[in-house]
Structure 1
């Protein structure tokens, strides 16, 4: 920027006034709108100090502090033809010079010649930039609105304009001036609007600095999403304390409630004590999902007969508002109580037969068939880990029976949870009941795992059955399409096996599951291989999140292992090893050894003959390998890979000496083969854990 050109700045404000925006996407829309404007300003070269994002149910707004009033100016040198081409021998301008003058809008008589460092040439000094921000912000706002992540846009009235909701006003100010611009079919002005009930009128904004406070008073609108959310949390917590409870504030629900109100007022309601006999999860689901209420618990984390609603109005008679909310929630809780009481009259065992006509997958049979397969697989898993086989079988038989209950029909998130309560009511063992509740864990990344062994067994068997079946009919996930949630199921299985320290062979489990489908799967072997490769590939994302480099996983996966717990132990060990001072040199040496042996072929067929070890360096390496072999053998056998690799790190010095002092490819074929045999021993020792040659950096 030219230091002589003083660029002034002003605050900029844009507000899009709409009908009620979708609460679940308001936060996302607000963030995207702000980022879109920031990107547009940056692309235009307009500087500013900070951008503030505002969002309420009826508006998206952005205020930009100290926005430069024009883009930076800079001098641009436009070079023309050489002077000897621009002028003839008499010093008159040539056609080439005239063309250069016309192109740059200057008089040929004013042409200037300068040296560009190589030759004398015509030059024109022009200035670029200096565009007024007032003229640029309108198109920037339009582009930001057009780029918003709106799944389905709508039209309204006779307009052809499309947006997430009908738009009723557009405010755009640069300092105290209205920006001459249009967006979404509206011309920009300086009017906003207050709260729909408390201040349903136009609010004329003099300048951007006034916006937040003027909307607050007299507008009765808290436009700052973060401020509004903090106030809601404070009000809800205070209201809960007044009745001796603690509010359970779910982050997603808090976001949604914040997106539903402009002037929040927390109100405490109550429901009958008798409803507490219903599973609390059902009551919470009804309050949270249907009414957007926060529930309360006591010091023992037991549900209390209260709820907190957040109203969008400061009522003169809060008791009436509370009464209205209580009237709304009572029938829903009564429905849950009715479903619970009705469902208990039929046992899960009796309900299991109703799974017969319900299709799991058109080519893979019914949900009843799935429980049969899960039972067989769960029993096999339980036997391998010394768990109670009878409990695993019983849990598998009943695991999907609650899907045909009225409770789950009304509250789909109660599946598994409802089964837990009904199993207890039926007199089933508590371990079986808990397994029914835990079978869907983990539901998402970072979710908790089953606490019980039977629950873990059931969670594994269910997912492995699904994976084998869907892969068996060629329905591998593609792109964003994963209707059976196989990515999530794969990660869940890996987490269960690794975090529960279950030393199970995934290939064997998948193969057994594939055989359970009988003729529905044509090639169990191919199914096992495809599903296994897909599942183990999910480890990549797992280790990326753990900040473990990809080459570490590749070094282990090169061994084609099929026990996830063993794979994880090796990856953790190799990751520790790569951080040792000796690791880089040993990885490079292993890579060199690998290349030599690959070129010579017949790897592993040579035998080391001690009498042919002539050089001191090769004798020292042979002795070191023999010594280390004895030390690490029991470590390998017990899966203590970290200790083994740390011990092998001591080989760096004898390996370096060997390559410095010994000619591997000796002319004598016996010496050459013996030295190759020594290198094979070195290579195989490390390969017991992983192919650490893959840790060596690629040569540039």
Structure 2
């Protein structure tokens, strides 16, 4: 059957740059799903996205649906004919609806009876007749939080729509979508080529737009920008700060990227680099430049959407725009330095953290107490951690952080150094927010780790303590991130901290503010629950995680060691048999509702196999006490497979003699406890 390429383009006003890729991929996915529903086979589906257009190309889209054989079941034979064998009204009506006579109907014989049946071939529809509805449905399902209307139209979309291309092969598919009639015309660059551009077919799409100064392929534009920025930085003997989100956003802002370099006064570099970098990246969408040592340079790289005959005019314009922002940062910095962080402590009393939990001053005091407690537990400088916890939120009261919230903590560190605070305290003010996101770096010093854990735990205990735990996808206080961040610090730094202990201490710091009587249990369960997703992301299987969770270890570093040990154990040939044996033991013991002795009576061990198992358990108990790691312990337990298998193959646990039966149950209890020292192996699949 013949097939041709299909192209759809939605021409709009400038689309939100941060949403562009999401919209484009969703559009392509939605079209693929609609095609699948209609059994329309095709090859690759490719999306295009530029500031003023979303497009999808479906390669080798089949021209027509395949014909289908449709079965229509009629009345049961008993209801289709009367006692004389004549067709009833029900049968006649059904046959008429099928376009046949009752005599032409087939019979469907099943175990449950017989029915009238009609089979007919339903011809497939031409693809061209289905495309308009496919595109309309795909657009309706786009993730648009706030659609808008324009003019007098009642049509809603993320931005006003100006044109629609619908091409199947070389033919325009007639359609009216979002109030616009389809055509084979697109539009080029707003300034370089604003006139209509005729698109012959999907294959012609990219080259036709490039002739109009539009690179429709997002990945191609991105590669051009990345290469251009890298080369420009190289020419400056530096390196561009080009994170993935900024690169994507800049790519979404331009149709025809041109990379240029601007500069600013050297004197601005006397300010800490972070706010300068922040304003250049976040406000101006520039790429700051650093030298080989990571020091900010007075150069920036930017991408313009126009190929100017006089690039210097474009450069000068951008330099004029960025200069006032840098001057603002300079002013804020100089103003803030007139007041120490410590002198700002009183002002924290005027800012509410949460209505029931009090002000930032109260939160800082709680963090200070908990940070000192944690620091003492992990061998850190208690005094430094306590001081850092007290000052932890003071930089929120500065002009710089008020203007650039993303540098909170960072500016606290800089201001603390200018104030003459201990360097450990200064670093901890920045490290309190680490890790800020998945994969972010962790605190470098134990004092910073103590403050970071204290800050996150205070939020967890406080918010859970007033009954506002996260629900569904709603997590306004980012408690999931806080929990995972605290766990990461404790695990990666191998800190000997028990969640039960530090949660209890944190709870005490709130006095009578908390109303949830189960706060300690709720926070513990919530934090342990984060382990599952975290370890799954690292490639561990669910059963390995569940085996450890079954033992509920509350020291995160210990939890991590157990997970790694069980994962290694699971790779052994003996693992499956031992897991099955443990499951069997667990099932036997679960059915016993009487007390089982803790010790085994050697005199009642009648069979060789149970005697051998007892000896193996006794020897293993002594051996386990000598081993240094959970991994070694489980590997050593694996050697018991044969003796365990022989026991179950030859020994009847539920013996007729009640004393022998109870003794064998005691033997299994010891075996179970031996394996449960690390994890519940019976959970392994």
TM-score, with length taken from structure 2: 0.95
Structure 1 position 673 matched with structure 2 position 648 = no
Counterpart position of 2:297: 304
User: Following the alignment from structure 1 to structure 2, what is the Cα–Cα distance between the partners of residues 606 and 460?
Assistant: 41
Q: Which stretch of structure 1 is more off in the superposition, 496-505 or 57-66?
A: 57-66
Q: Please state how far the C-alpha of 1:272 moved relative to its aligned partner.
A: 0.8
**Where do residues 146-157 of structure 1 align in structure 2 (5 Å cutoff)?**
146-157=140-151
> How much is the aligned-residue C-alpha RMSD, in angstroms?
2.5
Q: Please state how far the C-alpha of 1:671 moved relative to its aligned partner.
A: 2.0
**Where do residues 560-599 of structure 1 align in structure 2 (5 Å cutoff)?**
560-599=552-591
User: Following the alignment from structure 1 to structure 2, what is the Cα–Cα distance between the partners of residues 553 and 82?
Assistant: 54
Q: Please state how far the C-alpha of 1:42 moved relative to its aligned partner.
A: 1.6
Q: Please state how far the C-alpha of 1:693 moved relative to its aligned partner.
A: 2.2
Counterpart position of 1:4: none
User: Following the alignment from structure 1 to structure 2, what is the Cα–Cα distance between the partners of residues 35 and 52?
Assistant: 10
Residues 81 and 392 of structure 1: CA distance in aligned 2, closer, same or farther (over 3 Å): closer
Counterpart position of 1:11: 5
Structure 1 position 131 matched with structure 2 position 125 = yes
User: Following the alignment from structure 2 to structure 1, what is the Cα–Cα distance between the partners of residues 200 and 551?
Assistant: 70
User: Following the alignment from structure 1 to structure 2, what is the Cα–Cα distance between the partners of residues 572 and 376?
Assistant: 34
Structure 1 position 658 matched with structure 2 position 658 = no
Q: Please state how far the C-alpha of 1:592 moved relative to its aligned partner.
A: 2.2
Question: Do the aligned residues in 2 keep the contact of 1:395 with 1:435 (CA within 8 Å)?
Answer: yes
Question: Do the aligned residues in 1 keep the contact of 2:378 with 2:446 (CA within 8 Å)?
Answer: no
Structure 1 position 616 matched with structure 2 position 608 = yes
Question: Do the aligned residues in 1 keep the contact of 2:568 with 2:631 (CA within 8 Å)?
Answer: yes
Counterpart position of 2:412: 419
User: Following the alignment from structure 1 to structure 2, what is the Cα–Cα distance between the partners of residues 66 and 560?
Assistant: 55
Question: Do the aligned residues in 1 keep the contact of 2:214 with 2:255 (CA within 8 Å)?
Answer: yes
Q: Aligned with 2:40: secondary structure?
A: coil
User: Following the alignment from structure 1 to structure 2, what is the Cα–Cα distance between the partners of residues 115 and 212?
Assistant: 57
Question: Do the aligned residues in 1 keep the contact of 2:64 with 2:127 (CA within 8 Å)?
Answer: yes
Q: Please state how far the C-alpha of 1:208 moved relative to its aligned partner.
A: 2.5
- 1:401 aligns with one of 362, 369, 394: 394
- 1:179 aligns with one of 173, 177, 196: 173
User: Following the alignment from structure 2 to structure 1, what is the Cα–Cα distance between the partners of residues 155 and 105?
Assistant: 54
Q: Please state how far the C-alpha of 1:76 moved relative to its aligned partner.
A: 4.1
Q: Which stretch of structure 1 is more off in the superposition, 251-260 or 92-101?
A: 92-101
Counterpart position of 2:551: 559
Q: Please state how far the C-alpha of 1:206 moved relative to its aligned partner.
A: 2.6
Q: Please state how far the C-alpha of 1:207 moved relative to its aligned partner.
A: 2.5
Q: Aligned with 1:520: secondary structure?
A: coil
- 1:143 aligns with one of 127, 137, 152: 137
Question: Do the aligned residues in 2 keep the contact of 1:603 with 1:680 (CA within 8 Å)?
Answer: no
Residues 167 and 679 of structure 1: CA distance in aligned 2, closer, same or farther (over 3 Å): same
Q: Please state how far the C-alpha of 1:513 moved relative to its aligned partner.
A: 0.6
Q: Aligned with 1:55: secondary structure?
A: strand
User: Following the alignment from structure 1 to structure 2, what is the Cα–Cα distance between the partners of residues 563 and 86?
Assistant: 73
User: Following the alignment from structure 1 to structure 2, what is the Cα–Cα distance between the partners of residues 263 and 269?
Assistant: 19
Q: Please state how far the C-alpha of 1:585 moved relative to its aligned partner.
A: 2.0
Residues 666 and 335 of structure 1: CA distance in aligned 2, closer, same or farther (over 3 Å): same
Counterpart position of 1:641: 630
Q: Aligned with 2:554: secondary structure?
A: coil
Structure 1 position 692 matched with structure 2 position 681 = yes
User: Following the alignment from structure 1 to structure 2, what is the Cα–Cα distance between the partners of residues 125 and 476?
Assistant: 58
Structure 1 position 31 matched with structure 2 position 25 = yes
Counterpart position of 2:226: 233
User: Following the alignment from structure 2 to structure 1, what is the Cα–Cα distance between the partners of residues 606 and 6?
Assistant: 83
User: Following the alignment from structure 1 to structure 2, what is the Cα–Cα distance between the partners of residues 10 and 265?
Assistant: 35
Q: Deviations over 1:449-486 (max 9, x none)?
A: 11111111110111111111111111111112211111
Q: Deviations over 1:19-77 (max 9, x none)?
A: 11101001110111111111111211212222221111111111222221111123446
Q: Aligned with 1:306: secondary structure?
A: strand
Q: Which stretch of structure 1 is more off in the superposition, 79-88 or 433-442?
A: 79-88
**Where do residues 302-381 of structure 1 align in structure 2 (5 Å cutoff)?**
302-381=295-374
**Where do residues 81-120 of structure 1 align in structure 2 (5 Å cutoff)?**
99=93, 102-106=96-100, 108=101, 112=104
Counterpart position of 1:169: 163
Q: Please state how far the C-alpha of 1:439 moved relative to its aligned partner.
A: 0.8
Q: Which stretch of structure 1 is more off in the superposition, 673-682 or 314-323?
A: 673-682
Counterpart position of 1:513: 506
Q: Please state how far the C-alpha of 1:173 moved relative to its aligned partner.
A: 1.5
Question: Do the aligned residues in 1 keep the contact of 2:5 with 2:168 (CA within 8 Å)?
Answer: yes
Structure 1 position 255 matched with structure 2 position 272 = no
Counterpart position of 2:283: 290
User: Following the alignment from structure 2 to structure 1, what is the Cα–Cα distance between the partners of residues 76 and 595?
Assistant: 68
Q: Please state how far the C-alpha of 1:80 moved relative to its aligned partner.
A: 6.6
User: Following the alignment from structure 2 to structure 1, what is the Cα–Cα distance between the partners of residues 510 and 77?
Assistant: 86
**Where do residues 262-281 of structure 1 align in structure 2 (5 Å cutoff)?**
262-281=255-274
User: Following the alignment from structure 1 to structure 2, what is the Cα–Cα distance between the partners of residues 182 and 159?
Assistant: 13
Residues 457 and 121 of structure 1: CA distance in aligned 2, closer, same or farther (over 3 Å): closer
User: Following the alignment from structure 2 to structure 1, what is the Cα–Cα distance between the partners of residues 649 and 2?
Assistant: 68
Q: Aligned with 1:618: secondary structure?
A: helix
User: Following the alignment from structure 1 to structure 2, what is the Cα–Cα distance between the partners of residues 564 and 9?
Assistant: 58
Residues 95 and 322 of structure 1: CA distance in aligned 2, closer, same or farther (over 3 Å): same
User: Following the alignment from structure 1 to structure 2, what is the Cα–Cα distance between the partners of residues 68 and 376?
Assistant: 69
Q: Aligned with 1:267: secondary structure?
A: strand
Question: Do the aligned residues in 1 keep the contact of 2:532 with 2:545 (CA within 8 Å)?
Answer: yes
Q: Deviations over 1:107-132 (max 9, x none)?
A: x59x6577878999987653223211
Residues 74 and 596 of structure 1: CA distance in aligned 2, closer, same or farther (over 3 Å): closer
Counterpart position of 2:63: 69
User: Following the alignment from structure 1 to structure 2, what is the Cα–Cα distance between the partners of residues 71 and 577?
Assistant: 53
Q: Please state how far the C-alpha of 1:428 moved relative to its aligned partner.
A: 1.2
Q: Deviations over 1:326-347 (max 9, x none)?
A: 0000010011111111111111
User: Following the alignment from structure 1 to structure 2, what is the Cα–Cα distance between the partners of residues 189 and 539?
Assistant: 54
